[in-house]
Structure 1
Amino acid sequence: MPAKVKRDAPTACSKCGHPLIPLGQEGMSVFWRACAAAWLAAIWLFALPAAAAANAAPANASVSPEAEAFNRSAEALYAAALKGDMAELRKSVRETEQRLRSLPMKGVASAEGIEALARSVAVMKRAIAPVSANPANWQGPAAEIRLAADALVHPDKPMWHRYRAVLAEDVRGIGQALEDTGGIAKAKEALGRLQAHYAIIRTSVLLRSEPYLTERADSVLRYAERVLGAATPDPRLLAGLVPSLQDAMEGLFPGQRDTQTAVIAPAAGPPWGWSALMGTFIVTVLSWAGWQRYRRAEPVTPRGSLPPERRERR
């Protein structure tokens, strides 16, 4: 039986500070105020590192050695980012970049996934380049790389699937804010959290799914930003905002991609009498056009016969 590998999920969003693994009383109060059930689910989904190590799924036997090596580098990178050890962090970033270059395309859903992963590594390199680097600038990319590497070696149960509850909570927060009078400002804050959390898993989604899923999510998020950012938001557009966000976010995860696709219902067809009338009209027009063409057709004189004007009348 293969040894179980420790898989530490990102603990908190570096962009908005929203706790992804319960950390102290502050993170507890946020989820408890939202919903007691959501809090209990969050404890189960985002367990502490010790619990994650105990319940981690073993690596897939079909995973390439290059992907395993990249995952180990990403784990070291993320651990160094949490500790703030710049020397170890720079070393891990260099190693991760080298491992990235040797990753095979087998098991990657699209070239866009590798491109997004390379972009995350490039952002990480720029974040640690300054002498006095800001930890807030590298924690986000480190989490993206960590989750993406895990998605490559654990395609069946990757850690980024745990963000399903986080995104759903963010969308619910937008809906609750819109129900309150003058809640546009709170809705914008909730949308910012949703965008930050989505950005952390976007690379992982591209590695395992078709690009149209992230393109749809990107489009819906931009649309929500425009609707909420209007000087006077349209109530009709606000009413359809939460369902659109729910469909786009749920569609990122397995089990929802076939049922959450937005479609436009076809209009009801015309009655039978109208179809019969239109059919009769079309036949009449075609018959009239054929008769007119026949009338304008030049007469054909058979070979060896005189033209009509020179024939003798009998």
Structure 2
Amino acid sequence: MKIRIVIPFVLCIVMTIGSAGAVWGNAIFGPSGYSTITGSKAGMLASLDEAAALLYEAAYTNNRQAGFLRLQQFNNIAKKASATGAGTPAGWAAINESVAHIERALVNGEAGSGWLMASSRIKLSTDALVRPEHALWLQYESVLLHDWTRVQQSWKRTTEDGALAASAAMDSLNEHLNRIEVAASMQYGNSAVDEALIRAKYTGLLLDGITYAGANGERVDRSLEALRSKLVQLFDEGRETADMPVVAPTATTNPISWALFLGTIICAVLTYTGWRKYQRSPYGTKPLH
């Protein structure tokens, strides 16, 4: 009778130890076998995103001393993160350009407003690396389409200052488009964002009458429609790419640990059941009826 208690009890202990080992092993080394202390790919990109947030905060608060420190910290992490294979070469090249811009601004003693745009571009790009399916830059679609509507409405004015008002509205659209340029390039390359930037520049030149002084109203109308199409295409491509994360999500379950855990429960139940039976009938005798 005792063997019915001993065997499940021993198995329960063995599976409990195995289950604990599997859990602690995953906690220390992670699913890919890398220690979280040295930093996995996802952990390194999360650190990069945090460094970008601190850099943006320094720019927003116009803290040049903190800006030097945060830029150095970000640059050190970015050199390692770029070697993980995350993102795109075009995105990392754009980040390097923004870093160089901030460095020049800090050396020249510019106020935070002089490197705030570059800092925001970096922050949006690191966010796209860490959270591609919910990237903040994708929320700029409504903003840019609103800018485009303002440009079109200004252009359609019956007054003589229609082109001037539309050109002023284009400044806001260009600012927002430049802000998300690095993030869009980081997530899926720079082809779509480059097309949108080129179309926006062409439309602006038409409205300003600098290069295309003889441009008529129909040419501006066609360029505006083409610009809207490029903006929609930009965010459509971003949403499609968001379904394929740049950083593989960290595994949260382990089939071996689950099997050991369930086995532990089953053995514990069998041990308890056997013990209860032994308590009622310690010598295996049955009452006579």
TM-score normalised by the chain length of structure 2? 0.63
* Structure 1 residue 245 corresponds to structure 2 residue 227: yes
String of CA shifts for 1:240-266, please: whole Å, max 9, x gaps.
1221111111211136889xxxxxxxx
* Structure 1 residue 143 corresponds to structure 2 residue 125: no
How many angstroms apart in 2 are the aligned matches of 1:163 and 1:215?
16
How many angstroms apart in 2 are the aligned matches of 1:228 and 1:191?
9
Identity %: 22
How many angstroms apart in 1 are the aligned matches of 2:221 and 2:70?
47
Paired residue secondary structure (2:133): coil
1:202 matched to which residue of 2?
181
1:79-118 correspondence runs (5 A)? 79-103=57-81, 104-108=83-87, 110-118=88-96
Displacement of 1:64: 2.0
- 1:84–1:175 distance in 2 versus 1, CA, 3 Å: same
Is the Cα contact below 8 Å between 2:51 and 2:73 reproduced in 1? yes
Is the Cα contact below 8 Å between 2:61 and 2:112 reproduced in 1? no
Is the Cα contact below 8 Å between 2:105 and 2:115 reproduced in 1? yes
1:151-166 correspondence runs (5 A)? 151-166=128-143
How many angstroms apart in 1 are the aligned matches of 2:181 and 2:55?
19
How many angstroms apart in 2 are the aligned matches of 1:245 and 1:143?
24
Alignment partner of 1:64 out of 42, 52, 77:
42
Displacement of 1:160: 0.9
Which structure has the higher relative contact order (CA within 8 Å, separation 6+)?
2
Paired residue secondary structure (1:156): helix
- 1:254–1:94 distance in 2 versus 1, CA, 3 Å: same
Aligned length in residues: 195
String of CA shifts for 1:11-50, please: whole Å, max 9, x gaps.
xxxxxxxxxxxxxxxxxxxxxxxxxxxxxxxxxxxxxxxx
How many angstroms apart in 1 are the aligned matches of 2:111 and 2:104?
11
How many angstroms apart in 1 are the aligned matches of 2:84 and 2:92?
8
- 1:105–1:220 distance in 2 versus 1, CA, 3 Å: farther
Is the Cα contact below 8 Å between 1:100 and 1:118 reproduced in 2? no
String of CA shifts for 1:181-210, please: whole Å, max 9, x gaps.
221011101111111111110000001123
TM-score normalised by the chain length of structure 1? 0.59
1:226 matched to which residue of 2?
205
- 1:113–1:255 distance in 2 versus 1, CA, 3 Å: closer
1:216 matched to which residue of 2?
195
**Runs of at least 5 residues in structure 2 that lack an aligned partner in the other structure:** 1-39, 241-289
> Runs of 4 or more off by more than 3 Å in structure 1?
254-258
Displacement of 1:135: 2.5
Which amino acid letter does the alignment assign opposite residue 82 of structure 1? Y
Paired residue secondary structure (2:235): coil
Is the Cα contact below 8 Å between 2:62 and 2:113 reproduced in 1? no
1:24-35 correspondence runs (5 A)? none
Displacement of 1:154: 0.5
Is the Cα contact below 8 Å between 1:205 and 1:214 reproduced in 2? yes
* Structure 1 residue 74 corresponds to structure 2 residue 56: no
Which amino acid letter does the alignment assign opposite residue 228 of structure 2? Q
How many angstroms apart in 1 are the aligned matches of 2:239 and 2:43?
30
String of CA shifts for 1:106-145, please: whole Å, max 9, x gaps.
331x3111101111111111111123x2222111011111
How many angstroms apart in 1 are the aligned matches of 2:131 and 2:198?
28
Paired residue secondary structure (1:107): coil
Displacement of 1:149: 1.0
How many angstroms apart in 1 are the aligned matches of 2:223 and 2:130?
36
How many angstroms apart in 2 are the aligned matches of 1:137 and 1:169?
26
RMSD: 1.9
1:124 matched to which residue of 2?
102
How many angstroms apart in 1 are the aligned matches of 2:237 and 2:189?
14
1:42 matched to which residue of 2?
none
- 1:111–1:186 distance in 2 versus 1, CA, 3 Å: same
Which amino acid letter does the alignment assign opposite residue 194 of structure 1? L
